């Protein structure tokens, strides 16, 4: 510090220092020191009490229109202040809106239902069609057949060959409304074996979800061959065989608590023989008393499916598994 070499200069410097100290004390009282933590004026603790009360009253009186901008404009505070007041002083009521929809079918016994579907496999610039048959309760792949066309005779042969190999036949067979399942060959085989047909309803994706998920897994085995133009038919067959073996015996399922499809199939009890006759009797009786108006408006096929499902549920062979479609959380207050 330069004192100027005189008493007069020394006094001048002391006066400046006193002025600095005075300004520091004044700024400290006002909260304006540079190194002091800045004050958040929008915080509820820093707002006047009358402003807080006015905002709370407006929010409670007009809950439908009490947006941050509206309240801030009416009361004379910022939107941030309104948000802070709302979160701190205005409790919110949480309403949960849950939509419950029907999910897939749950089966109490094995071999009550088999499901059949067809997957397309790209092969040397063209297409092959693999018909896959699974057991619904355990999702066990019972068999498959590869053909160049989607024909009912191939689906019929797969069904009859599986019945002969397994030594058991299902009560119902689930299928979509593809031409290979709605023709006389396949439907005739079902009637001959006293198996009830369970066609898919319109716009109901969960109906064939199990066999479709199985087909998606099978496609992981066939996909590497589909991008090749030198793949042989024997390779496609080997890939399908590997898929059947691995899915049935080597793939623990979360839905089965880590068990494989084969383990579930072997530990699930079979249906009783008399239950087939009771199911057929119930279905035929329901068909006889159906209103003829269903034939006129095109709903007969779906109504027949409902009759089959209702009969299965009455006999405790099947139950509908419900699931949550979506959850909406509505905040008010």
Q: At what angle do helices 79-89 and 49-61 cross, to 10 degrees?
A: 80
pLDDT tens readout for residues 190-208:
999 999 988 887 666 667 7
pLDDT at 255: 85
Domains in the chain, ordered, with CATH?
7-95 (no CATH), 110-270 (3.30.420.10)
Q: Which residues in the chain show pLDDT less than 70?
A: 1-11, 30-45, 91-104, 202-206, 285-302, 321-333
Q: Which residue in this structure is represented by tokens 């396949």? A: 186
> Which one, of 154, 159, 100, lies nearest residue 134 by Cα?
159
Question: How is residue 254 annotated by DSSP?
Answer: G
Could you give the 3-state DSSP secondary structure of residue 179? coil
Q: Which residues pair with 101 in a beta bridge?
A: 323
pLDDT at 278: 87
pLDDT at 324: 57
pLDDT at 206: 65
The H or E element containing residue 331 is strand 318-332
């Amino acid at each position: 510090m330069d004192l100027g070499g005189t008493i007069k200069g020394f006094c001048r410097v002391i006066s400046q220092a006193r002025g600095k100290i005075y300004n520091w004390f004044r700024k400290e009282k006002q909260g304006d020191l540079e190194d002091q933590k800045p004050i958040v004026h929008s915080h509820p603790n820093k707002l006047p009490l009358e402003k807080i009360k006015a905002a709370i009253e407006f929010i409670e009186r007009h809950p439908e229109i009490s947006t941050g901008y509206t309240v801030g404009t009416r009361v004379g505070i910022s939107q941030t202040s309104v948000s802070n007041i709302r979160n701190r002083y205005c409790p919110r009521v949480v309403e949960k809106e849950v939509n419950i929809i029907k999910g897939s079918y749950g089966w109490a016994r094995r071999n009550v239902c088999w499901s059949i579907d067809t997957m397309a496999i790209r092969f040397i610039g063209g297409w092959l069609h693999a018909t896959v048959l699974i057991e619904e309760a355990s999702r066990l792949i019972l068999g498959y057949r590869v053909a160049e066309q989607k024909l009912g005779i191939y689906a019929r042969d797969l069904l009859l060959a599986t019945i002969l190999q397994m030594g058991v036949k299902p009560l119902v067979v689930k299928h979509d409304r593809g031409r290979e399942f709605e023709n006389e060959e396949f439907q005739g085989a079902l009637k001959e074996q006293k198996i009830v047909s369970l066609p898919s309803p319109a716009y109901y994706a969960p109906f064939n979800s199990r066999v479709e998920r199985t087909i998606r897994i099978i496609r992981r085995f066939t996909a590497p061959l589909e991008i090749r133009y030198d793949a042989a038919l024997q390779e496609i067959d080997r890939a399908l065989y590997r898929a059947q073996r691995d899915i049935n015996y080597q793939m623990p399922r979360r839905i089965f608590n880590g068990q494989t499809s084969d383990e579930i199939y072997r530990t699930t009890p079979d249906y009783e023989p008399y239950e087939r006759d009771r199911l057929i009797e119930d279905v035929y009786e329901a068909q006889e008393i159906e209103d003829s108006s269903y034939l006129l408006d095109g709903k007969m096929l779906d109504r027949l499916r409902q009759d089959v499902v209702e009969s299965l549920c009455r006999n405790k062979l099947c139950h509908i598994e419900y699931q949550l479609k979506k959850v909406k959380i509505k905040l008010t207050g």
